[in-house]
A and B are shown apart, each in its own frame.
Chain A
Amino acid sequence: MPLLIKKVSAVMLFSFLPMTAHAASGDLWGQAVGYIYTQQQMFHQDLANALRLVQELGPSAAWGLISVSFLYGIFHAAGPGHGKAIIATYVASHERYLKRAIGLSFASAFMQGVTAIALVSIVVGVIGWSRREAQGLVPYLEQISFAFVAVIGAVLMMRVVKGVWKSRPMQAAHEGHHSHDHTQGHHHHTHDHEHGHEHHHDHDHDDMTCHTCGHSHAPDPRAMAESMSWKDRMAIVLSIGIRPCSGSVLVFIFAHIIGLPVAGMGAVMAISLGTAITVSALAALAIYMRQTADHVVAKTSGVMAQRMGLILSFTGGAVILFLGVSLFLQARMTVHPLF
């Protein structure tokens, strides 16, 4: 029993690490963030200069602009931000494949860039509002994004609760079918599909309990996560991507004003690429931590492994819900006097 408690607390600690680390090491953290901010300011200034150079020298200066934008993206994403927190939490609690985690990071970063370009182009170019009004729409998109994030967190939690409910000992496994056809329908399809391609990495092959649970309707959180993961990832990309990166909006507006919208688009895409790389690195770290945790858990009994998986999935959903709700509440109060 003490072992179980230890394991549970390890999972909980792992899930809440982002929150506790700040309190424990504010000093080092503050210095690191300070460094990142200084770099960011330099690149931001370089970015303005690079755009000016393109204005003076023409397309031959474009590479300078692209590379500065790329570096700006890397450092910009290295600061605190909610997109990363959500991706890392989701990946740590629901994802096991590095490729998908990186895909998720890239898709989210690029959608943010595209949203920035679309927002400015449509609102300023087509509707004819002022650029300030375009920037003024960003908080609304943020609100939508945060609400969406909260809903995703709630759905992830509900899924675990439903899974546990369905697998009550007295309940026949198949009764779940009617009420949960969305989940179940995809369950078979996706699970089988993934099984062929990717499941061979799994630690659970020699684990009798979990080997069977994929074929019965016991709540194997992994099978559930697999089955829903495509929809999950779409939802996460949309929730993060709908909120344009404010830095990109500013840079694109700047490019627009000096008459270089195409160069501005190139700069925004390069910023997205830099952002994607930083976020991917973080997602890879989360995958690595997850795999280490999985490895430890896989050594215990199958029932235990299942429970740990459920706790992890539930906690991940709870953290995402918390992030969404707290960001939503904060954002409502924030109207910046200078923007």
Chain B
Amino acid sequence: MGKVFVVLVGMLLPLKAHSHPHAWIELTTVLEFNAAGQAIGLRVGWLFDEVYSLYTLDGQSQSVEVVTALGRETLDNLESYQYFTHVKQGDKAVSFHRVTDYASQFKGARWHLEFLVPFQTPLAVEADDLSYQVFDPTYYVSILHGEGTIDQGTSTCQYQISAPTPSADMQDRAENLDAFTSAPASLGHHFAETVRLSCPS
């Protein structure tokens, strides 16, 4: 009964104007390293749901020109949002360059956008102090890793995804002492997965 009450009361919360997710992205992420073994950026892949994919095409054909332009336009729009990507080394936020390396194509009825978020300076990843999150702060779009969506490639680093349960989130905050303060405290943050890296040296 108490639970039901809390749920009902929780439903009253207006939170953000754009709260419920209206689009869903299946996320893939992997770090890219240079020859010296430094991380140079995070390669992010977004597989959009069918409704959004069709919506964003807006009746245009799936031609290479159209789909490439769509990718460019979307990434330009996302630039001031840090591409919804937040990377931390220790408790320091990592800043990015503008995205130039991207691929935009349709996989059947679903749009796939992949891009490299380049770090301002290459990072020496030696300990387990690197972590990242990809989320829409307004939670208008849900962005989550699917099954087996981190391909470690040749890297020796282990990726560990923490599910976005609020309790895990609390733990996370306790452990990291406000690790992601640069991100707006928001609903989207509440439902973000956290990926932690541990690289044996």
In the assembled complex, A5 has its CB within 8 A of some CB on chain B: no
B1-23 contacts to A (CB < 8 Å): 3, 6-23
Residues of chain B within 8 A (CB-CB) of A19 are 13
Question: Which of the residues A22, A25, A334 comes within 8 Å of B18, measured between beta carbons?
Answer: A334
Q: Mark B93-117, 1 if CB is under 8 A from A, else 0.
A: 0000000000000000000000000
Partner of A247, one of B20, B77, B138: B20
Q: Are A26 and B55 in touch, CB under 8 angstroms?
A: no
State the CA gap A29–B6 with chains docked (Å).
Answer: 7
Name the segment of B37-45, B124-132, B159-167 touching the other chain.
Answer: B159-167
If A78-B11, A258-B54 touch, does A31 touch B23 (CB 8 Å cutoff)?
no
> Does B16 lie within 8 Å of A250, measured CB to CB?
no
A336–B15 touching, CB < 8 Å = no
If A30-B166, A247-B20, A282-B8 touch, does A337 touch B58 (CB 8 Å cutoff)?
no
Nearest-neighbour CB distance to chain A for B118, whole angstroms, equals 19
In contact, B164 and A79 (Cβ under 8 angstroms):
no
Q: Is the CB of B7 within 8 A of A32?
A: yes
B18, A246: Cβ atoms closer than 8 Å: yes
Task: From the candidates B12, B58, B78, name the one contacting A88 in the complex (CB within 8 A).
Answer: B12
B residues less than 8 Å from A41 (CB atoms): 21, 24, 142
Complex contact B55–A45 (CB within 8 A): no
B140 neighbours in A (Cβ, 8 Å): 336, 338-339
> Does A79 lie within 8 Å of B11, measured CB to CB?
yes
CB pair B22–A48 under 8 Å, yes or no, is no
One of A95-103, A156-164, A302-310, A323-331 contacting the partner = A323-331
Give the chain A neighbours of B23 by CB distance below 8 A: 250, 338
Cβ contact within 8 Å between B18 and A37: no
Q: Is A1 an interface residue (CB 8 A)?
A: no
User: Does A28 count as interface, using CB distance less than 8 angstroms?
Assistant: yes
Query: Counting chain A CB atoms within 10 Å of each CB, which of B11, B58, B136 scores highest?
Result: B11
A337 engages B81 (CB within 8 Å):
yes
- Closest chain-B Cβ to A245's Cβ sits at a distance in Å of 9
User: Does any Cβ of A come within 8 Å of B135's Cβ?
Assistant: no
Answer yes or no: B191 CB below 8 A from chain A CBs: yes
**B170 touching A27 by the CB < 8 A rule?**
yes
Q: Quick one: closest B residue to A75, CB to CB?
A: B20
Q: Does B50 contact A (CB under 8 A)?
A: yes
- Give the chain A neighbours of B22 by CB distance below 8 A: 44, 246-247, 250
Which residue of chain B lies nearest to A253 when distances are taken between CB atoms in the complex? B55
B51 at the interface (CB under 8 A from A): yes
Residues 26-59 (chain A) with a chain B CB within 8 angstroms? 26-34, 37, 40-41, 44-45, 47-48
Q: Would you list 23 pairs from A and B whose C-beta atoms are within 8 A, ordered by A residue? A: A18-B12, A25-B10, A27-B167, A30-B167, A32-B3, A32-B7, A37-B142, A41-B21, A48-B49, A48-B50, A79-B20, A80-B15, A81-B19, A82-B14, A85-B14, A132-B55, A132-B56, A142-B17, A246-B22, A254-B55, A330-B16, A334-B138, A338-B140
* A-B pairs with lowest CB-CB distance, top 10: A30-B166, A337-B77, A18-B12, A29-B10, A82-B14, A79-B20, A21-B9, A32-B7, A331-B17, A80-B15
